[in-house]
Amino acid sequence: MFEYLKKTLLTGVGLALRSKKEIEELAKEFAEKSRMDQDEAREFLKECEQKYEEAKEGFDKKVEVTIEKILKKLDLPSRSDIKALNERMDALTKKLSNE
Tell me: the pLDDT tens digits for 25-72? 777 777 777 776 777 777 877 887 787 788 778 888 888 888 878 877
pLDDT of residue 1: 42
Domain count, the chain: 1
| Residue percentage of the chain with pLDDT more than 90 | 16
DSSP string covering the chain, please? Answer: -HHHHHHHHH-STHHHHS-HHHHHHHHHHHHHHTT--HHHHHHHHHHHHHHHHHHHHHHHHHHHHHHHHHHHHHTPPPHHHHHHHHHHHHHHHHHHHH-
User: Domain range for residue 27?
Assistant: 2-98
Q: Please say if the pLDDT value at position 77 is more than 70.
A: yes
Q: Please say if the pLDDT value at position 2 is more than 70.
A: no
